[in-house]
Each structure stands twice: as structure tokens, then as C-alpha cells.
Amino acid sequence: DWNMPDYIAEAVTAIREQVGSDDVILGLSGGVDSSVAAALIHRAIGDQLTCVFVDHGLLRLGEGDMVMDMFGKNLGVKVIRVDAGGQFMGHLAGVTDPEAKRKIIGREFVEVFQLEAGKIENAKWLAQGTIYPDVIESAGKGKKGHTIKSHHNVGGLPETLNLKLLEPLRELFKDEVRELGVALGLPHDMVYRHPFPGPGLGVRILGEVKREFADLLRRADAIFIEELRNTVDINSSKNWYELTSQAFAVFLPVKSVGVMGDGRTYEYVVALRAVQTQDFMTAHWAHLPHELLGKVSNRIINEVRGINRVVYDISGKPPATIEWE
Ligand code: XMP
């Protein structure tokens, strides 16, 4: 149990001592950990920090602009945004296997990041938002003998960059990272966001990833999240975004028949997934109120042309996973 202003002061001193007058690069993903690391390091060394934000075209609606506004405009952090959607889509064309998709996204991410990092001449350090549970998890790797899914996060960037590692969150648990983020001035909503996988919508569009599918999914997902945030449960007085651990829409490349006005439609399906869990190793499907589900379904079908059917996933983990791929 530590006092936040003291903790920040200590961390700032430690970072300054560690890096001296060197420059630091950080891969910003828009997630909580890399965002808090960026805010903390920026507090310590200001313009010696450059963030690289790779937009792989598989982010949520408005996410790229949100990240740029928050860090660039509000916090005055140097951020280079790389719009690499075209490159990612190109390499993903024709690929349907989930693990193959993850590998491509991970590989392209490293390539794009390395290219940008190489342009920052005085950089000696690579900062990462590694937190304590990540340290434990990688220490335990190999003991389990296998990984069920390969997790390509922004972490694990290659040694070939020849940079020293700066990991100021290594000793913190997730809730401490969140508190730190708020104390550093990051918006509450961003710091308390649900986790989002590194490969992004790439694993929420089943089978081949296409830009058209990503655009439909982004809009459906944004409606779902908006309604979860706007619907308060009277018993707990929390909204359903807070009451769930992770919630999102999944794009199914399957067409089904519908009616619209006096016409027949033949469009795609979206599945909604919302789970409650402590550790993400096991999870229950969330018992969302039927009125909420009904409203989300109506809005998606009315507002997202190209989707004419919405289903709700009522599978627990195990046997289902949280993501569909
Ligand atoms: P599953 O689907 O395995 O997900 O039940 C458990 C948690 O892990 C996240 N997840 C990923 N995160 N890269 C990531 O960074 C990935 O490839 C990946 N796959 C799953 C998932 O969102 C959930 O929080």
C-alpha cells in the first residue's frame, strides 16, 4: 500500500537516473499498460520520449484519433502515428487460420515498429508497459509445456533493435497501474477499459479479414459498448460496462435472410460476447438484461447496413474461449 504522489516522485527520479540524457522509444497500443508507462516516462523525461503508435487497421471505432488526442494534444507527448492498415490487410488477404493470422499481425507489427524506431537516432532505450503479472507469466512459460493461443502483444519486441529495456511498471499489479494512470492525469474511462487483444479485430472477424468486415464490426461494436456504458443496473448502481470484464462484437462471415420494409435482405451476422471473470482463465457469460440486448440488436440492425441479424453468445469458458478465434 503506497502513497501515489510519493510513488510517482520516486519512479520519476529512478527513470531520470536510469536513462540520463538518452532518448527513449515506446510502442503505444492504446491499452492501459503502455499508456500508463508513456504518461509516467513522459512525466520524468518529457521530450526525450517518443512514442510509436502503429495503427494496424484493426482497432476499435475512433481509437486511433482518441490515442492521438489524449497523448499528443492533451499530454503533449511526442507520438508518431503509423497508419499501416493497408500493409496489414494486404498480408492478411486469403488467410483464414486464426494462429496464422496472429503470426502475420505480430510479424508485421514488429516490422513496422522497427522501421519507425530506426528513424529515432539518439534512442538507446525501448520502454515497455510490462507489469508484474507479465513478469510472472513469462517466468512460468515452458512449465505448462504449451500455449493454447499465441499471444502477440506489443511486448516481446525483438533484441535486434539493440536497445536497453525500460520497464517502469514491472513491480505493479493491474489495479496499481490503473491508480497510477489516474494520478498521472489519464482519463478514468481509458484507464478502466476492458482488455483488448493485440491482434485486435483480426481475431474478432472470423476467417479472412477484410477491410469491409472490419468497418462493419467497428460500428456494431461501438453501439454495443455505448449501450453497456449507458445502461445502469439498479441493484449495484454500476453500468453494464463496469459489470462485465470484457464485452465486444464478433463478425461472422455468414449471410442470413431478413426482411426490411417490403424487401428481403441477405446480410451478415454479428455475435455479441460479454463475460465476467476474475483472471480470464475461466469466465461466465454475462446475464445482460434482455431490454439491453434488444436495444443493441435493434440499433445494430437499423444503423449498420450490411448486418441483419444479431446473436448473443451464451458459452462459458471453458469450454469456449473468450475470443472466438
Ligand atoms: P481467450 O480467448 O483465450 O482470451 O479466452 C483470454 C484473454 O486473452 C485475450 N487474448 C489475447 N490477447 N493477444 C492478446 O494480446 C492475443 O492473441 C489474444 N488472444 C486472446 C482475450 O481478449 C482475453 O482477454
**What is the Å distance from ligand 1's center to 321 Cα?**
9
pLDDT of residue 294: 98
The label of the residue with cell 453500468 reads 239
**What is the Å distance from ligand 1's center to 151 Cα?**
7
Residue 154 in this model has a pLDDT that exceeds 50 = no
Percent of the chain with pLDDT over 90: 87
Cβ–ligand 1 distance for 317 under 6 Å, the answer yes
87 exposed, middle or buried (CB, 10 Å; 0-12, 13-18, 19+)? middle
Rounded to the nearest 10°, the torsion over CA 114, 117, 119, 120 is: -160
Q: Which of 73-77, 211-215, 233-237, 309-313 has the lowest mean pLDDT?
A: 73-77
The residues that bridge with 285 in the sheet, in sequence order, are: 275
pLDDT of residue 1: 59
- Mean pLDDT over 223-249 rounds to 98
Atom of ligand 1 nearest to the CA of 152: 13
pLDDT of residue 302: 96
Cβ–ligand 1 distance for 57 under 6 Å, the answer no
Span 7-18, pLDDT tens digits: 999 999 999 999
Span 276-324, pLDDT tens digits: 999 999 999 999 999 999 999 999 999 999 999 999 999 999 999 999 9
Q: Does domain 4-191 have CATH number 3.40.50.2000?
A: no
- Beta strand pairing status for 23-28 and 78-83? unpaired
- Does ipTM top 0.85? yes
Cβ–ligand 1 distance for 103 under 6 Å, the answer no
- Mean pLDDT over 142-170 rounds to 63
How many residues appear in the chain? 325
Fold matches, 4-191 and 204-312? no
Domain boundaries, the chain: 4-191, 204-312
Q: What is the pTM of this model?
A: 0.93
What is the Cα–Cα distance from 172 to 28, expressed in whole angstroms?
Answer: 18
C-alpha cell at 324: 472466438
Closest CA to 196 of 155, 153, 149: 153
**What is the Å distance from ligand 1's center to 29 Cα?**
15
Atom of ligand 1 nearest to the CA of 320: 5
Residues 204-312, CATH architecture? 2-Layer Sandwich (3.30)
